[in-house]
Amino acid sequence: MKKVVALFISLVFVFSLFLMGCSSDKNASKDNGKSSAKKVTITIGSWRTEDKAGYAKIINEFEAKNPGIHVEFKPSQNTEYDTILNTQLKGGSGPDIIQLRPYAPGMALAKAGYLEPLDGIKGLDQFPKLMLAAATGEDGKVYGVPLSVNSAQIFYNKDIFDKYKIKEPKTYDELIDIAKKLKKNGVTPFAFGTKDAWLLTMSHAIIGPAFYGSDFPEKVKSGQAKFTDPEFVESLKAMKDLTPYFPKNYTGLGEVDDRTLFATGQAAMYVEGSFDIEPVRQLNPDIKLGFFNMPSAKGGEPTITTWVDSSYGINAKSAHKEEAKKFIEFLTTKEFGKLFADTFNRISAVPGVGTKDPLVTALAEASEKYATPYFILTDFNDGNPTTKTVLTNDLQAMYLGKMTPEEVAKDVQKSADTWFKPAQ
């Protein structure tokens, strides 16, 4: 009797082990599709954990028009999105619809054959070529529908500025004076931590043009200027010189801490992208947000830094390509553009879509007049490690006192020299 029981139990274990091995998340959505008769489930991979609630609304609209399709928005932490996505793609799975990083990193996925070319998608031709460039592969095919245009600038808390009778700065020296005045009155001037290294590169793209000017990116691309030129080194030094106006223990503060400091009114200025307006408002709906274009330090025009944020592409190995294509086509419609702009208070890439929010409209207007590109991201995100990665890590090292601005500039140029050929 004991032997029979023992045999039975061991067979149950073996059987369940095999069951465990056979079922996996990969098949879960397929099973859903089969079991609930007509409904097909497609998943969207993204790094915007902040947008989960907003996408629920947008997806409801889509599902109302497309009853056979159920869409799930599954974002991952932004700093880990690339590694998580790559692990999935290499394992042969991954979401049906993939949010793509703009330019080189996103198109590397296309090169590796993980993305489905989007020829024939309705509505793709309405996007300007310059915008589609962010999602065009080396083979000239378009792999993603552009989502939005980002702008990056210095936001400020209007209540704090009013309290100390501060006006928007027109020159860089005025900006420093504002910082000094705030510090004297016990207010942290900048909500700026250095723990999330990627923020440093974006902040440099905002503050840097005040020193290297808005024609520097073109000069570097054509080979007339180098990263070791004095104006670029000056821009790095200026970043380091701002540390007296950073919060206490800034080396240990990341993006979430910065956002908290700014939203709760403990810091007056916030050097960030337009994609962070909604997350700040979610923390503090009553905050009065203002922004100003980056004033020049050399008497030049003010600047606001812009770039195509991301696009959505289709997984070449998706089991539901038809349904994914329907969703992608939805992303090219003015209807989606309006939903996107209104839900997230961002500039939609879909042409002709306005926004209700006065702040975002003001950003769009400033972008038309004073735009300068985030050129490290749009044109120097190549090489291994990429020049952007080198700048990112070196900026953090600079803030930790391990590198001087001159050493950073030399290192960035060395990285560019390994792969960059100026456009002749």
Partner 1 sequence: MNSTTNMNTKSIKRKGGWKRYLIHLFPLPALAVYLLFIVYPLFSAFVYSLFDWDGLTRGAFIGIKNFIDLFTLEPFNHMFWNAFGHNWIYFVVEMVVQNGLAFLLAYIIYSKIKGTGFFKAAIFMPRLLSVIVVGFLWKLILNPNFGVLNKFLNLIGLEQWAKPWLGDTHTALISIILINCWFGIGFAMLIFLAGLQSIPSEVLEAARLEGAKGLKLISKIILPMMKQSITIITVFTFTQAFEAFELVYAMQGSEGGPAYSTDTLAVYFYRLAFGSANESEIGLGSALAVVLFIIIAGLSALFLRLMRRNDVEA
Evaluate the CA torsion angle 115, 119, 123, 126 in order and state its sign: positive
Centre a 10 Å sphere on the Cβ of residue 31 and count the other Cβ atoms it contains: 11
Q: How far is the CB of 127 from partner 1 (least distance, A)?
A: 22
Among 29, 99, 157, 194, binds partner 1 (CB under 8 A): 194
Q: Which stretch binds partner 1 (CB under 8 A): 12-20, 167-175, 231-239, 291-299?
A: 12-20
Does 80 bind partner 1 (CB under 8 A)? Our answer is yes
Does 9 bind partner 1 (CB under 8 A)? Our answer is no
**Stretch (H or E) spanning 44:** strand 40-46
Hey, which residues between 15 and 34 contact partner 1 (CB under 8 A)? Answer: 17-18, 21
Which residues have C-beta within 8 Å of that of residue 111, sequence separation ≥ 6? 137, 138
Q: How far is the CB of 298 from partner 1 (least distance, A)?
A: 31
Which residues have C-beta within 8 Å of that of residue 323, sequence separation ≥ 6? 40, 42, 66, 68, 69, 96
DSSP 8-state assignment for residue 353: -
Does 238 bind partner 1 (CB under 8 A)? Our answer is no
d(CA 378, CA 133): 10
Q: Tell me whether residue 317 or residue 338 sits nearer to partner 1 (CB atom).
A: 317
DSSP sequence for 17-73: HHHHHH--HHHHHHHHHHHTTT-EEEEEEES-GGGHHHHHHHHHHHHHH-TTEEEEE
Q: Which long-range contacts (CB under 8 A, 24 or more apart) does 229-232 make?
A: 232/208, 232/409
Q: How far is the CB of 161 from partner 1 (least distance, A)?
A: 23
Hey, which residues between 133 and 152 contact partner 1 (CB under 8 A)? Answer: none
Among 199, 253, 263, 277, binds partner 1 (CB under 8 A): 253
| Measured CA angle at 373 (ends 178, 282), to 5 deg | 60
DSSP 8-state assignment for residue 111: H
DSSP 8-state assignment for residue 296: P
Does 284 bind partner 1 (CB under 8 A)? Our answer is no
Q: For the CA atoms of 41, 46, 51, 53, what is the dihedral angle to 10 degrees? A: 20
Helix axes 52-65 and 334-344, enclosed angle (nearest 10): 150
Among 12, 249, 288, 369, binds partner 1 (CB under 8 A): 249
Query: Which tokens belong to 423?
Result: 């456009």
Query: Which tokens belong to 168?
Result: 């928007």
CB distance 419 to 388 below 8 Å: no
Residue recorded with tokens 């000056």: 234
Q: Which stretch binds partner 1 (CB under 8 A): 39-47, 99-107, 138-146, 358-366?
A: 99-107
Query: Which tokens belong to 400?
Result: 């930790």
Residue recorded with tokens 């905002």: 206
CB distance 206 to 370 below 8 Å: no
Among 16, 23, 83, 282, binds partner 1 (CB under 8 A): 83
Binding mask 319-348 toward partner 1 (x if CB under 8 A, else -) reads ------------------------------
Does 275 bind partner 1 (CB under 8 A)? Our answer is no
Among 2, 38, 165, 248, binds partner 1 (CB under 8 A): 248
d(CA 390, CA 383): 10
Does 48 bind partner 1 (CB under 8 A)? Our answer is no
Q: Tell me whether residue 74 or residue 90 sits nearer to partner 1 (CB atom).
A: 90
Does 185 bind partner 1 (CB under 8 A)? Our answer is no
d(CA 280, CA 256): 10
Residue recorded with tokens 């054959």: 113
Q: Tell me whether residue 193 or residue 208 sits nearer to partner 1 (CB atom).
A: 193
Does 112 bind partner 1 (CB under 8 A)? Our answer is yes
Q: Which stretch binds partner 1 (CB under 8 A): 67-75, 254-262, 333-341, 352-360?
A: 254-262
Q: How far is the CB of 290 from partner 1 (least distance, A)?
A: 24
Does 260 bind partner 1 (CB under 8 A)? Our answer is yes
Using CB under 8 A, count the residues that bind partner 1.
48
Does 86 bind partner 1 (CB under 8 A)? Our answer is yes
Does 418 bind partner 1 (CB under 8 A)? Our answer is no
Hey, which residues between 369 and 408 contact partner 1 (CB under 8 A)? Answer: 381-382, 384-386, 389, 393, 396-397, 400, 402
Q: Residues interacting with partner 1, by CB under 8 A?
A: 14, 17-18, 21, 79-80, 82-83, 85-87, 89-90, 101, 104-106, 108-109, 111-114, 193-195, 197, 247-253, 257, 260-261, 381-382, 384-386, 389, 393, 396-397, 400, 402
